[in-house]
Amino acid sequence: MSRSSPEPTPGFLVWRLANKWRVAVDRALAPLGLTHAQYALVASLHGMRRTGERPSQRGLADHTGLEALYVSKLARALEASGLIERTRDPRDPRAVQLALTERGQDVTRQAITAVQQLLQQLLEPLGGLDGPRTRAFTDELTTLLDVPLAPSVPNDETTQGTTP
């Protein structure tokens, strides 16, 4: 930003970092046929499977912070690619459970390795993945993510004339 411009807001910086990260992950995962959003699902499924979970689409949406409808769309694409299987939950016929296929497990392991290398590169200025500044940064991000935000109300008198 130029000297005459005001300092960037934390929101703007978070947005810029998120976009930088998404683009970098998309590029790193393209050879594996995955997008960043698809990676979020398969990597989450991989981690949940290791703890014995077989989540529903709703459970995976809650875990990733993605909208349930978007998770459903991503899951269908991943199923068509042979990376996950979707089955009806025997305890709730309305729910769909998700699991990685054998091929999905292999692709996910490769993707996790690629993203870990990218993450190490991104976090190098903070001392790398295991650096104390990275741990502090992670704690700060977790604190911010844990703050519930009230949904905004369009045309609310209290928000008129303000900028986000």
d(CA 52, CA 6): 50
Give the per-residue pLDDT at 127. 95
Q: Tens digit of pLDDT for each residue in 115-125?
A: 999 999 999 99
Q: What are phi and psi of 10, to 5 degrees?
A: -55, -40
The tens digit of pLDDT for each residue in 6-63 reads 899 999 999 999 999 999 999 999 999 999 999 999 999 999 988 888 898 999 999 9
pLDDT of residue 9: 94
39 — phi, psi (to 5°)? -60, -45
- Which of residues 110 and 160 earns the better pLDDT score? 110
Q: Greater confidence, 141 or 163?
A: 141
Residue range 73-99, pLDDT digits in tens:
999 999 999 999 999 888 888 888 999
Between CA 80 and CA 85, with CA 83 as vertex, the angle to 5 degrees is 75
Rounded to whole angstroms, the Cα distance separating 19 from 25 reads: 10
Contact 54, 99 (CB under 8 A): yes
Crossing angle of helices 57-64/36-50, nearest 10°? 110
pLDDT category at 156 given cuts 50, 70, 90 is low
- Identify which of 97, 113, 147, 92 has the alpha carbon closest to the alpha carbon of residue 39: 113
Q: Taking residues 121-134, what's their average pLDDT?
A: 94
